[in-house]
Amino acid sequence: MTKVAGRVALVTGAGSPGGIGFAIARGLVAGGAKVAVTATTDRIHARATQLGCFSHVADLTDPDQVAGLFRAVEDALGPVEILVNNAGMTQSGKEVDRARLAGWTDAAWAHHMALNINTTFHSCRAALPGMAARGYGRIVNISSVTGPVVTIDGSSAYATAKAAITGMTRSIALEYGGSGVTCNAVLPGWIQTESSSEDEIRAGQRTPAGRPGTPDEVAACALFLASEEASYVTGAMLVVDGGNTLQEMKG
């Protein structure tokens, strides 16, 4: 299972050693893929050293830096065949505000859109022409249950952007399915990472599973969707939340 050996894979947002992006990259390396990782700061080079893979610093909100990233990966490893879009939610060194919908400034709203939908759009746009021309591609977009399934007071900008990722996922699946390219989204719920707050961990404990999820559990789902075996799965939204969105009464 998870046939990714020899495939060139790019994982964005992999700078945190306890995060979902790093867990996905680690799984791809273990599966024999030729892996590139990226983040906005030099710490990505330490992650690459841990994994024994290629790294490149890029701000994916900037289309020119995205183009430079894809050139660098192709020069080092070959054309990108697997793209995992994990970048989003937060960016190192930048604060993310919370507000009800009417309280967003244009600048704060644009910041959320840039981080959570534009990063994914820029990377998909860079990857798709080559994937379609070669007749093979796997795109896995890491969205969230927040937006497509549920929402949280004060998170309307984030929820809107994550819901937009699922719409883009379906569009890519429809438009490029005949070219051997699949595009799917993974929607994590309460996943415990090094940045999880105490409130988020407690929320995870109130899921039917009785605990938060782990980055490795999200990575396992992403790896399947990135594999050759997942050739007939496209446009899917895979919820990874311990059953949390099933229950009306959450304690």
Active site residues: 158
Beta strands in 90-176 (DSSP E): 137-142
Angle at which helix 20-30 crosses helix 43-51, to 10 degrees, equals 30
CB-based contact 182:231 (threshold 8 Å): yes
How far is 11 from 13, CA to CA, in rounded Å?
A: 7
What is the C-alpha R_g of the chain? Answer: 17
How far is 230 from 180, CA to CA, in rounded Å?
A: 11
* DSSP state, residue 115: I
Write out the H or E segment, with its range, that includes residue 29: helix 20-30
Three-state SS at 123: helix
CB-based contact 250:189 (threshold 8 Å): no
Dihedral over Cα of 213, 217, 219, 222: its sign: negative
